[in-house]
Structure 1
Amino acid sequence: WSNVIPVTISFKLQPVLTVSPSWLSPGASVTLSCEIEYPSEGWSFYWYKAIPYLDIKEEAYKYELLPDGSETAQTLYVITGQTHTAAYVCRAQRGSNYYYTYYSKPKFVWSADLYPAASLTVGPVGQTLSFDFVRLTCKGNSTWWRVRKFPENSVPYCSNVWNLGESVCTLYTKASYSDDGVYWCESRSKQFSNAVNITLQDFYSGPLMEIPDDPVKKGTFVRLRCNLRRKKIFPSVAFYHNNKLIQNDSREELNFLAVSKSDEGSYKCQYSGKESPSRWMSVKCE
């Protein structure tokens, strides 16, 4: 038998930071809470404000120690007088060998109030045959901006780059609602804008009725289509002829095996509680 050699395996811990409240209200203080799952005793805590970092491909933020934010024994840190959107992180240290944890993931406290030095505006809403879209624009006392989003799932490309001058981010309603979330702007001069909670469904202006531009020939097969301009999540699509309901089921098409003169008239479709503009179908007898 060989000698027994004791081996100690260690790994670096990452604390979990929570903030309360997540949305600011006038005069309210913000409480940060830094927790470590195990071991939970014997830690000193460090508290930081997260500052936008110049190269988002390396790190999104750098960290600046908060006032009296070094080696506190308490797991809570209270901030008073915070009026604008901000981000915070924490980490912990213990033992005579000064073991440090990783930094926590940044947590945000958002403000909806407009801030002249950094502002996020929503609009205008645009429309194409395939989808609706809305533009987010960053403005303020900086020459470089980026748009950011929480949660970070399906983060739009525009939030991964710095833009000179105004930063414009275009969100589309077409594919899914994965771009729903809280949006705000950040500048290279360490400013955070107001935050906006966006649900893209709110910008959906409705379906479009697709009808042949030229008159259709009597007795021929004709297909009309309701272009939903988004991912279908509701089962029912309704079609109307001269404001009378003629079809209401899962189909997105209205078919005429042999179109007649009586089929001529105004058509529209309805989906997700919104109606398309009416369009006219002409039927010629020759």
Structure 2
Amino acid sequence: MYEWRGGQKNIYETSSVYTINRVTESDGGGYSCRGRRGSFWTEWSDSTSLKVIVPSKPTVTLQPSWTQIYSGETVTVRCEIQGGEGAQWTYEWRQGQKNIPETSSEYTITVTESDAEGYSCRGRRDYLLTYWSKVTGLTVSSKPKAELRADRTAVLVGGSVTLTCSVNPSSSSGWKYYWYRDWKSYQPVTNGQISVSEGGLYSCRGGRGEPVYYTEWSQSVRIDTTVPSKPTVTLQPPWTQIYSGETVTVRCEIQEVEGAQWTYEWRPNKLNTPPTSNEYRITVTESDSGLYSCRGRRGYLLTEWSETITLTVSSKPKAELRAYRTAVPVGGSVTLTCSVNPSSSSGWKYYWYRDGKSYQPVTNGQISVSEGGLYSCRGGRGEPVYYTEDSESAWIDKIVTVSGADSSSSPVWLMVGLVCGVSLIIILLLLLYRCRQFKFTFEFIVFISCFRSIQSESHSLGSSTNHGVNQNETHEYNSLQHGKHHEPEQSAVYSEVKTGAAEDSLMYAEVKRPKKDKAKKKAGQ
């Protein structure tokens, strides 16, 4: 026969099998047995536990009840057994398929992204067990960063700017927003939006929970207060046309706030290389052409942007040289003009060179020269001097008098030339007249040779010429009247003009008459 013990009640069963019908909570417990034969008993068997599962299913809840959890936040998972209030339950937990050595109804954890597997629980009381709860999952994301937006970054004196702080995704909830100005705490607000009227460097971050869990800092936004003052950009030298290689200075001038310790911002941005100065000295290239403007800054105070000025940079110019004639008369001069195009460019001095050597610098670009030579020029302006390309060269000749004559003989030469010219014209007209009258064909040869200077023969030259003409005319006329010829086949008329000495130069005119005798013989035949 057998003897049983266990559970929470006496067992009157002597068979080797103990059957429990309609198990109740009181049937739970440890069961053991032993055998008996006559007066002999075996030892008690090892106890076997009977655990009675009650028809109750716990629920796992999350506190705080946020759907989006971030790495580093502290949350509490809680196991709640409906209808089991007041009972002394112990709890079993597991994460995914892994058991957790925790027996309380609440389990507090600082989550990481690996905690996203989900949690479940069940209750235990003596030999009673509940069912396992449903798995409650956690969505764990990396630590978020706050985002700061400003509707504008400059505020006029007396105005305000609206700043907005948020945490993405927008589905995450429970945030308060903490504001900072110049890295000092400013104010916490709930709706994440504030209006500010002071300039400064603003940032924010979100926070929630207890203890407070903070997001990453937002990016900083600089808010400046604009003062009603507009600078002026000037160009030195103030030339409208600038050439590649010239050195110019752009300057930012703030007229209304003298003595203030301003720093300056420039457009284009390539000028904003710390420390920012109120002027920049630039040796320009054509790539520096463009619009320039500036504004002043002092702390969080800003002026308005200045009006823009236009810098136009052209390629290096070439000087142009003009000469109104290229020969210098005796005792005279030639005017040379040097210029730089376009004519709108200003500030030029002109540097002159004769035979490759420096001649003289002048301002108006025009000089008079009385010496022959190879002249060129170039323009220059600014400090240090910026030079144009050299002009083309111009050769200037100087006219000199004939050897043995001086400048006082020029009027005499002029008179002699005039008398000779008039005399030759008269002789030509007379010969043409006579040839037409007597129907002669003629050949007129003039040879003039002048070797020496004639100083005072103009009057004698005229009378000599007239005398020679009259004498020949008389000789020719008498010869024709009497039918006498010096030569059998032809006769000639000679006119001789002496200039100065007899050996110096001669002028001859020769007229040939046709052979009349032969013509008459032919007619008689």
Taking structure 2 as the reference length, what is the TM-score of the superposition? Answer: 0.29
- Which entry has the higher C-alpha Rg, 1 or 2? 2
Q: Which has the higher helix share?
A: 2
Q: TM-score, normalised by structure 1?
A: 0.48
